[in-house]
């Protein structure tokens, strides 16, 4: 049994209370040697003058912390997050967290998504006593490519926890959740995508009293099996602006549910639910937005960074327009030294492979990375293969988010986060759908009914001048070419529609 995005994955979870009924998307917990360093968790933080969460250090002697600063190109406030004190290197007790990072997870075609055995978890406090993020990695281990995947936890007024997009429930992860000293009340699956769906069942078994809510139009491939077959037993289905959800007075939600883009099946709908935590003005998304920076994520293992920093066969073979002779003169195939520069170079190459699948130049990645770094964007994969196929539906979703929610930061499930951003920044990231749907602007204008209508239009143009949207990034032609070619192939072969709206 294989899977495409929404499909099942096979593994073993001996602690499952339903071993016969839950063969899919399982992981096993046990004792194993981790591939990288110990976990981190949250510390105290304060508030900036503009109201966005700002971390301050509160560390015991002989401990270390890493403070990450994030910066938006717009006039947004700074957001900082700091992991909590870590155990001292010489403390024998530090071995136990290492052992608790073991989690067996076996996947297959078309996405052999790891890590297979070990997952480090880092916990960060975003809003004091209210919002935490938990980071692990997703990996294509064959190519040493790792990217962060993020679970967000919000403490509700009831005192319980609301969990968005669960990550693998390793013993370490479960311990970090329990350290918040609050019961898990709700677990939310915000998307159809299997990398976020995979751990909902195992996570819910660790917190059996929690209620599970899922987005509609769930599907799996090649067999469209019910969620229960994979160990997910929903207590409810999420819909937009639902006032009956238990958290409705604290967290609002808006569903992206485009028409099917596949010609083969009407059941394949690429859904995503956006959430807005009103008190902290926080927007939660899954795959819709991202930002990549030079800051190497703490959860990415050092060995993978250094291996990709080396000019190995993969990096030498993706070298732009350089001839083999030029590549030979430039390339350094020997092991990379363990320096900050080497780790950053390895991270840049990882990021480009994830963003584009086939970037133009891994041998010299600096220009391609600089073209997309440090700005809030829609990732090139979902822009090309998803949102551009349903521009009108996407625009209505973005408008409903930006016109109704006054958020000041975004927490996505991948790459950097939290990101300081306002509604104008999110609209700017989706400039391409506004460009593709300019006819909707004409349709929204009032009919011309003479002098009164003309006067109204004039007053609107004078007092309600909207800033023209400008794309935050234009993907370099060489980098985006592979995705565009794949998109055209899928359209020409009739696999997907060019425009499904």
Kindly tell me the burial class for residue 354, based on how many C-beta atoms sit within 10 Å of its own C-beta (0-12, 13-18, 19 or more): buried
Cβ proximity of 470 and 428 under 8 Å: yes
pLDDT of residue 87: 43
H-state helical runs in 41-188? 95-99, 171-178
**End-to-end CA separation in angstroms for the chain:** 32
pLDDT of residue 77: 52
Q: State how far the Cα of 252 lies from the Cα of 412, in Å rounded to an integer.
A: 16
DSSP output for 245-273: STTTTTEEEEEE-PPP-BSS-TT----EE
pLDDT of residue 75: 42
Query: In which element (H, E) is residue 409 found?
Result: strand 409-411
Q: State how far the Cα of 288 lies from the Cα of 425, in Å rounded to an integer.
A: 13
pLDDT of residue 226: 85
Q: What is the pLDDT along the chain (501 residues), one digit of tens a residue?
A: 333 333 333 333 333 333 333 333 333 333 332 333 334 554 433 333 334 333 333 333 333 333 344 333 444 455 656 565 444 343 444 455 567 899 988 876 566 789 999 999 999 999 999 999 999 999 999 899 999 999 999 999 999 999 999 999 999 999 999 999 999 999 999 999 988 999 999 999 999 999 999 999 998 777 788 888 888 999 999 999 999 999 999 999 999 999 999 887 787 889 999 999 999 999 999 999 999 999 999 999 999 999 999 999 999 999 999 999 999 999 999 999 999 999 999 999 999 999 999 999 999 999 999 999 999 999 999 999 999 999 999 999 999 999 999 999 999 999 999 999 999 999 999 999 999 998 766 555 555 555 665 665 556 555 555 568 999 999 999 999 999 999 999 999 999 999 999
Residue 154, strand partner residues: 131, 162
Kindly tell me the burial class for residue 57, based on how many C-beta atoms sit within 10 Å of its own C-beta (0-12, 13-18, 19 or more): middle
CA distance to 4, 24, 166, 266, 274, per residue, from 7 (Å): 5, 9, 17, 16, 22
Cβ proximity of 102 and 30 under 8 Å: yes
Cβ proximity of 169 and 202 under 8 Å: yes
CATH node for 1-293+374-501: 3.60.15.10
Domain with CATH 3.60.15.10 in the chain: 1-293+374-501
pLDDT of residue 223: 76
pLDDT of residue 4: 35
Residues in Cβ contact with 442 at an 8 Å cutoff, skipping those fewer than 6 apart: none
pLDDT of residue 2: 33
Picking from 195, 375, 330, the residue whose alpha carbon sits closest to that of residue 272 is 195
pLDDT of residue 96: 55
Q: State how far the Cα of 245 lies from the Cα of 383, in Å rounded to an integer.
A: 30
Count of Cβ atoms closer than 10 Å to residue 139 Cβ: 22
Cβ proximity of 59 and 73 under 8 Å: no
pLDDT of residue 305: 98
Q: State how far the Cα of 348 lies from the Cα of 308, in Å rounded to an integer.
A: 9
H-state helical runs in 34-156? 95-99
Cβ proximity of 149 and 136 under 8 Å: yes
pTM for the predicted model, two decimal places:
0.81
Q: State how far the Cα of 149 lies from the Cα of 438, in Å rounded to an integer.
A: 35
């Amino acid at each position: 049994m294989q899977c495409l995005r929404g499909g099942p994955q096979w593994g073993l979870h001996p602690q499952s209370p339903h071993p016969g009924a839950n063969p899919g998307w399982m992981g096993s917990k046990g004792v194993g040697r981790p591939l990288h360093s110990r976990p981190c968790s949250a510390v105290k933080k304060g508030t900036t003058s503009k109201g966005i969460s700002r971390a301050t250090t509160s560390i015991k002697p002989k401990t270390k912390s890493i403070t990450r600063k994030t910066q938006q190109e717009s006039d947004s406030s700074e957001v900082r997050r700091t992991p909590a004190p870590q155990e001292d290197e010489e403390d024998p007790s530090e071995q136990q967290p290492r052992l608790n990072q073991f989690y067996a997870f076996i996947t297959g075609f078309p996405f052999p998504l790891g890590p297979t055995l070990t997952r480090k978890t880092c916990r960060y406090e975003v809003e004091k006593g209210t919002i935490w993020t938990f980071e692990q990695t997703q990996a294509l281990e064959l190519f040493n490519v790792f990217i962060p995947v993020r679970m967000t936890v919000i403490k509700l007024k009831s005192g319980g926890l609301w969990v968005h997009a669960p990550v693998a429930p390793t013993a370490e992860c479960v311990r970090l959740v329990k350290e918040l000293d609050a019961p898990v009340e709700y677990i939310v699956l915000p998307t159809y995508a299997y990398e976020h769906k995979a751990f909902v069942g195992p996570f819910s078994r660790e917190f059996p009293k929690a209620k599970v809510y899922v987005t509609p139009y769930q599907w799996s491939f090649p067999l469209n099996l019910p969620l229960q077959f994979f160990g997910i037993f929903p207590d409810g289905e999420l819909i937009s602006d639902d006032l009956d959800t238990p958290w409705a007075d604290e967290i609002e939600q808006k569903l992206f549910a485009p028409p099917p883009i596949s010609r083969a099946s009407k059941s394949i709908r690429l859904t995503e639910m956006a959430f807005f935590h009103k008190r902290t003005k926080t927007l939660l998304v899954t795959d819709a937005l991202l930002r990549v920076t030079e800051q190497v994520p703490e959860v990415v293992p050092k060995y993978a960074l250094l291996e990709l920093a080396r000019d190995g066969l993969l990096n030498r073979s993706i070298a732009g327009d350089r001839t083999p002779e030029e590549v030979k003169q430039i390339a350094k195939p020997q092991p990379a030294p363990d320096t900050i520069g080497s780790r950053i170079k390895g991270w840049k190459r990882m990021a480009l492979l994830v963003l584009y699948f086939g970037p133009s130049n891994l041998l010299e990645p600096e220009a391609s990375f600089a073209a997309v770094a440090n700005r809030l964007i829609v990732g090139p994969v979902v822009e090309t293969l998803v949102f551009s196929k349903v521009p009108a539906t996407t625009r209505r979703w973005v408008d409903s988010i930006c016109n109704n929610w006054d958020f000041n930061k975004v927490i996505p499930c991948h790459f950097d986060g939290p990101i300081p951003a306002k509604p104008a920044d999110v609209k700017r990231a989706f400039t391409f759908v506004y460009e593709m749907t300019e006819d909707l602007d004409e349709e929204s204008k009032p009919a011309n009914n003479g002098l009164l209508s003309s006067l109204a239009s004039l007053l609107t143009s004078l007092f309600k001048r909207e800033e023209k949207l400008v794309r935050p990034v234009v993907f370099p032609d060489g980098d985006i070419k592979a995705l565009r070619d794949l998109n055209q192939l899928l359209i020409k072969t009739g696999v997907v529609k060019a425009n499904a709206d």
